Structure 1
């Protein structure tokens, strides 16, 4: 079914009748004349799940036909979902779908609440002016009608805020505007003016909801914030409601306020204000994707502003689709030039690290085959991981990177390359991958919950990229079978063990461990717990940036084990959190940015993990492991699913609380760090190929002896 843009279907009305959502849509007359069928489509943004409901004609208005459809709320009132609305058509045997447009700026007011499940169903107008619906836990619904920044630095905001729980008994409601810096170092509360919004009740009132007291106005003198910041600072604005009633109070904080959707022509506002000591700048803008209202305050320097303006323009040009197309075309034509047979380009985790299997292969080749000219692809934000080393690196997507990658004979990486980069015909692409699979991969995934993609799109892109691979490294027979199916890979599988694990087998000695502890500042008289969890597909800030809630109670761990142990945290490379461990100084250490986890394995006496593939590698050391799986039901049944019965065959105990983690650590120590009966079958299935010679096997297969 094709998505079309020529037919503009516009939302006329959205309302409720009993347990049904009733949608009225205006469809152009000329299109209706050729239709055999017309129906309302709801397509879930992440999973591509489709629900279809019939539309029937009720009248004609000028150049449009008014159609109406009904949706039983129970059919879409499940899960955390985002539904996009389309009109589907069938004409002359051809199916098409057309996005439903919205002229409503305050569509959020037509929410519906499921009080039993404490869920809320919120229709809204997207940044592109289309109709979507999100289903989520009860949350504050906010809308900004207007913003204005005066020459005197006064920011005026008007809008409304609603907490969708009318069953709450309220004796008093207190409203606040909260302004917070992005780093949470600054926060201030202001009291807005309450505004009667009878117009909202008249226009959107439903199910006895009354919005008369939902409005607010506020004038914020941003000059008062100048003294709080020594460097440039970004602020966001929130609405806070405090309900008082039944001898208690409850506080609810909204998400950051968004730039008004109704203000189509957006331009950032910049004001320069003179103070006694210097010029200050106030910039009112919106974040790129979420469109959050953002206030930037800092010192004004003309030269710096000119540089920033030029930099923003360059970034704008770089991100333009035409620039990408030109880059792709240039790459393709350069790729027709003869291969430079002695050139190898390495990349690890999208250019963020000098690590993993590519590093192991690089170091082996450097020692044994010095005639190769080898380069590392480095993400510009992570070049510090490559500086000061005896290696050559190229900034990812730079002009030099384009020429080098397009002419290199060999590519070696452990994650996917950008799909828009065409692989030249005679290039040899070695994909090392980065773990033995426990959780389902690619084509084996039932649903994809990652931002910026859908299930179908994710699978198609993955298998298309995998079709470029000439060699794929596998750590064992179990992985080979899964890789072939999940990646739809049908070229050369190198079943060798993982090159990165050569280090574990060749350096597992007391001298190396002491040297590493000294280098990392880890007390020599303490045993080490390594906590290395994976990421959650459905917990994210945005595409490629995942969040992680540290559920492990570090205070309790320190109180119970701090005399004999320290704990090292190593988050997944996709997780964007920065943990404040200052309260646990001397006990907890954050090594999430440490480039190579192998060194952490060596100094760890015990591994605490969850569903991360790290335990397959750590198993080579034959040391105890504990699996802290507080959300196993959700992860197993909703997010990914497992390839084998993890609960029955894990090489260590599964626990769900910090107390249980502590109990198992004490038990392991009492038993002299012996391994459970489940470990040996695990080792024989997953670690049997690891001999310290995996790099040699891979290099001889791909590059020759």
Structure 2
């Protein structure tokens, strides 16, 4: 027997749920729905009194009764179970779902959705403590008539009236106002803003005002979903182009582009030729990959001399734990042969630092990879890179997991793959690793489940963090001098993650700073500098040339541990960098400006983000600036109870000897195989 949530309908401020019962073998009675909250393990039981027809049943719930006071909890996820009796036996079925709802406002600062998990089981999710300054719309499009915005015209059954849309240019204080509202569908309003008369380039931000009960409300218009599928540009009658885009925090920006002059059109011909060149380059890459696959399938015999291949982040860097292990090997066992697998753009760095290398995707690279006895890498090799039977593969990985990994990612949105293929490839690659390095028990458990990993785990800590344990004050001074950072100034580092839903193309992601550098400089510029450390997958370089010696963009700096050492405060969001930075017992400030979108629509988290972090969470830019001011006055967190609890759980294992322990493991393998 199965119970399926097939529909949800609003009813006088409440929600009417329809369930379809399939394969009902007997007469059932005493029907009820049990809702179980996943985090607090609270339950609600609602009797079902109405059977509509055949095996359809219906019940009504009040979403506002599904929230409760729970310290640190602002989100509630309810699983749904259908319970019934057959004669004297009691049965319980988890409800499946064929219905996924849109986002529905419950109050000005809360909303709910009906979703389904990876097993297609129904979930009733409620999000509270949302910012009251945002209004989530359904869609936004540009047409010949103008900019059309659609949204719900009620909040939990109470109507919104006098909706008025505003386009505001904050630079010039110009405001365009429109209130010609129509009903697109029952419960959905539509406002079309004529844009032919926009006389400034913009950008214009979009706001809405309306009356709700006894309140007059003004909010920023946001779009929680991507712009994909919506029309984001339109040529107007005067030849200018109007465009819409999303800001870093889901706001809407409208701007106009003047008509394209003839000279620019001629220049575009050259750009098209460049694009043709890029297409040819990609075709050559595909042909080369096929050739590489063929070369890997040929038989190889190992080198006579013990050869160890190192690779970091797919050959883009000489860095991270592989570098720490390499340096320890060079000190203790210089008689072995060490070679770095690198991309061509990394070659100048290798030459300048006397690092032996081989360029990836070349014939010599295949031969060297296949004849080596050891691979040490912090990321996955392509699936077509064949691992010989005589080779030992040590995977250092590259961070303590905060975001879901591997099999634990229920919905993969990365370009160039899908969920099933991603899971399959991940497990196949992971089980080629003979040994996987773990920094703590928490990571070990996740690696086992997320990677489907069945081989050896070396719980020794990350070798890259040895530098954090062993560095002295003189070392830190030397690093600052190398980076030209004034010794008399404090250092704040901002190191965010990339977002899976902000990709520009396969392997490239975009990013926009979620705070004003001008405001940051005005408040802290006299005695503080700011380091920007973007994720290596971010494709768009940030232009900070206007900020002189206040902002340092060190995104491509190879050794992030040195950046940790010179920083007095770390600001991050969902990047796992804070697990490493915590070794220094210095303050960490979290700025998850898109937390609810990121948690719900992307990977999700292993930790309880609102309870388990070692520092404060800034909800908006004023919070961020105040948090920076506070933490710069508190440089040592060794007496902070919450921080120390985190430290004991995630950092206590690292004694500064992780690289030595990995070297000893490899040397033991070498000795036993001879």
Q: TM range, normalised to the smaller chain?
A: 0.5 to 0.7
Matched, 1:504 2:475: no
Aligned equivalent of 2:433: 469
Shift, 1:701, TM fit? 1.4
Distance 1:172 1:533 in 2: 36
Say which SS state the counterpart of residue 387 (structure 1) adopts. Answer: helix
TM-score scaled by length of structure 1: 0.59
Deviation larger for 623-632 or 433-442: 623-632
2:586–2:635 Cα contact (<8 Å) kept: no
Aligned equivalent of 1:688: 652
Distance 2:284 2:634 in 1: 63
Say which SS state the counterpart of residue 344 (structure 1) adopts. Answer: strand
Aligned equivalent of 2:606: 643
Distance 1:283 1:669 in 2: 49
**Which residue of 397, 420, 423 corresponds with 1:433?**
397
**Which residue of 352, 364, 386 corresponds with 2:316?**
352
Aligned equivalent of 1:116: 151
**1:341–1:482 CA distance, 2 compared to 1 (3 A):** farther
**Which residue of 672, 677, 682 corresponds with 2:641?**
677
**Which residue of 480, 489, 492 corresponds with 2:453?**
489
Distance 2:410 2:193 in 1: 44
Say which SS state the counterpart of residue 647 (structure 1) adopts. Answer: coil
TM-score scaled by length of structure 2: 0.61
**1:493–1:527 CA distance, 2 compared to 1 (3 A):** same
Q: How many residues are matched?
A: 456
Aligned equivalent of 2:529: 566
Matched, 1:173 2:196: yes
**1:386–1:672 CA distance, 2 compared to 1 (3 A):** closer
Shift, 1:559, TM fit? 1.1
Matched, 1:325 2:277: no
**1:554–1:467 CA distance, 2 compared to 1 (3 A):** same
Shift, 1:638, TM fit? 2.1
**Which residue of 597, 616, 622 corresponds with 2:560?**
597
**1:74–1:492 CA distance, 2 compared to 1 (3 A):** closer
Aligned equivalent of 1:519: 482
2:150–2:189 Cα contact (<8 Å) kept: no
Structure 1 gap segments, 5+ residues each: 1-72, 80-107, 119-163, 179-210, 220-237, 243-249, 258-274, 286-293, 299-307
Aligned equivalent of 1:43: none
Matched, 1:393 2:395: no
Aligned equivalent of 2:283: 316
CA offsets, 1:630-664, max 9 Å, x none?
11222222211111212112111111223212222
**Which residue of 564, 569, 579 corresponds with 2:542?**
579
Aligned equivalent of 1:402: 366
**1:369–1:687 CA distance, 2 compared to 1 (3 A):** same
Map of 1:74-89 to 2, 5 A cutoff? none
CA offsets, 1:669-688, max 9 Å, x none?
44464453211111111111
**1:241–1:488 CA distance, 2 compared to 1 (3 A):** closer
Say which SS state the counterpart of residue 530 (structure 1) adopts. Answer: strand
2:344–2:360 Cα contact (<8 Å) kept: yes
Distance 1:241 1:578 in 2: 22
Shift, 1:171, TM fit? 6.5
Aligned equivalent of 2:242: 240
Distance 2:479 2:352 in 1: 19
Distance 1:369 1:643 in 2: 39
CA offsets, 1:154-193, max 9 Å, x none?
xxxxxxxxxx9995556773799x9xxxxxxxxxxxxxxx
Matched, 1:373 2:337: yes
2:236–2:242 Cα contact (<8 Å) kept: no
**RMSD across aligned positions (CA):** 3.8
Aligned equivalent of 1:666: 629
1:348–1:413 Cα contact (<8 Å) kept: yes
**Which residue of 403, 408, 414 corresponds with 1:450?**
414
Matched, 1:480 2:455: no
Distance 2:267 2:573 in 1: 45
Map of 1:294-309 to 2, 5 A cutoff? 294-295=271-272
Shift, 1:382, TM fit? 3.3
**1:462–1:340 CA distance, 2 compared to 1 (3 A):** farther
Distance 1:525 1:470 in 2: 47
